[in-house]
């Protein structure tokens, strides 16, 4: 096991990581589609930190948000009218279902842990393997997956066109009416509205030096000094880069039973260098989203922090260190502006 002294160099990586993060996010926001659908206004940050606060509000077309919300909760998007997007992404439960793997139509079990939908508009890509570059692209993957919603666009559009209210509302927003592109855009716009600002840590970043207590501040300092911040930074405290699981200890050898889903980004790129690489999970609201990792191998946040120390940092964290970091991570829990949606 590596000595901790070797990790004193990690804080030097933070600035470089921040520059990369800024470039990734700015590039994503400068794309034509993003300009049209996800304008973000960020309030000034009171202190220079590698994490920035979630904006208190973002400007979105309220009509699209309302339409997307209905679609997000509509089980008719599934082949047997039993599963909606909200089935696996419960907005009253941290934006996910708290299961190791989600269940779709006919009780079929998926093969990966569902990530939270909250703040997903701030991610540079979607899914653990990053196979969707935008929220619009993301929409059809679960809709068409045979173990999730198991539908087709022909089925979905046919059902929606039978609904007079949908026909009217689509026509009032999208000149082309009910079609694949409009459905994708409406759902993606609603998902962009699912922000959770005003966490304790955001208030601290905006200048409230009393927002965090001593243990939470100590946890944040450990988070930075140990090197966690080199991957978990930016507005979403992650979600903007890829990393292998097991940098300093062979995670999959220890866990065993390696399956194709464990190959991560390799399944998309077919580049051998990407095998076992995953999008770094964003840590916003992480205290609410157990179990953790793509394979749900950590049932608690304490266990997840300990495992990250072992496999990603090469250190064995003490109970006191783990407790302090968990205390800090709990300050990343924000407030869904529209309230607890069912």
Closest CA to 142 of 108, 174, 118: 108
Specify whether 148 is catalytic: yes
Q: Report pLDDT for 15.
A: 37
- pLDDT one-digit tens code per residue, 106-153: 999 999 999 999 999 999 999 999 999 999 999 999 999 999 999 999
Residue with tokens 């006191």: 320
CATH architecture designation of domain 4-56+196-241+280-330:
Orthogonal Bundle (1.10)
Three-state SS across 206-219? CCCCCCCCHHHHHH
Mean pLDDT for 15-20 is 39
- pLDDT one-digit tens code per residue, 141-168: 999 999 999 999 999 999 999 999 999 9
User: Hey, do 4-56+196-241+280-330 and 62-192 end up sharing a CATH topology, with the first three levels equal?
Assistant: yes
Q: Is the peptide bond before 120 cis (omega within 30 degrees of 0)?
A: no
Annotated catalytic residue within 136, 140, 148, 277: 148
Closest CA to 233 of 64, 1, 17: 17
Please report which helix (H) or strand (E) contains residue 168, including its range: helix 164-173
Is the CATH number of domain 62-192 1.10.760.10? Answer: yes
Q: Where are the domains of the chain?
A: 4-56+196-241+280-330, 62-192
**Pairwise CA distance, residues 328 & 195, whole Å:** 20
Q: Is the pLDDT of residue 332 over 90?
A: yes
């Amino acid at each position: 096991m590596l000595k901790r002294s070797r990790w004193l160099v990690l804080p030097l990586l933070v600035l470089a990581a921040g520059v990369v993060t800024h470039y990734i996010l700015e590039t994503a926001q400068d794309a034509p589609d993003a300009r049209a659908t996800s304008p973000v206004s960020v309030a000034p940050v009171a202190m220079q930190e590698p994490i920035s606060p979630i904006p208190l509000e973002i400007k979105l077309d309220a009509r699209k948000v309302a339409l997307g919300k209905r679609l997000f909760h509509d089980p008719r998007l599934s082949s047997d009218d039993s599963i909606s997007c909200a089935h696996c992404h419960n907005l009253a439960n941290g934006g996910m279902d708290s299961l190791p793997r989600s269940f779709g139509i006919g009780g079929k079990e998926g093969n990966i842990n569902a990530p939270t939908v909250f703040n997903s508009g701030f991610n540079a890509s979607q899914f653990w393997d990053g196979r969707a570059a935008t929220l619009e692209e993301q929409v059809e993957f679960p809709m068409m997956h045979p173990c999730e919603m198991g539908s087709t666009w022909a089925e979905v559009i046919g059902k929606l066109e039978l609904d007079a209210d949908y026909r009217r509302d689509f026509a009032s927003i999208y000149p082309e009416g009910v079609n694949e592109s409009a459905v994708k855009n409406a759902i993606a716009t609603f998902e962009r509205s699912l922000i959770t600002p005003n966490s304790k840590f955001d208030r601290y970043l905006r200048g409230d030096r009393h927002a965090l207590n001593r243990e939470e501040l100590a946890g944040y300092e450990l988070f930075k000094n140990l090197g966690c911040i080199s991957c978990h930074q930016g507005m979403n405290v992650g979600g903007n880069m890829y990393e292998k699981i097991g940098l300093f200890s062979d995670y999959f050898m220890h866990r065993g039973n390696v399956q194709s889903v464990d190959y991560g980004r390799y399944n998309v790129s077919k580049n051998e260098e990407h095998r076992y690489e995953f999008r770094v999970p964003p840590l916003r609201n992480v205290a609410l989203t157990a179990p953790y990792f793509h394979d749900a191998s950590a049932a608690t946040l304490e266990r997840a922090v300990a495992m990250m120390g072992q496999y990603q940092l090469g250190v064995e964290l003490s109970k006191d260190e783990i407790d302090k970091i968990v205390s800090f991570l709990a300050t990343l829990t924000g407030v869904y502006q529209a309230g607890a949606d069912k």
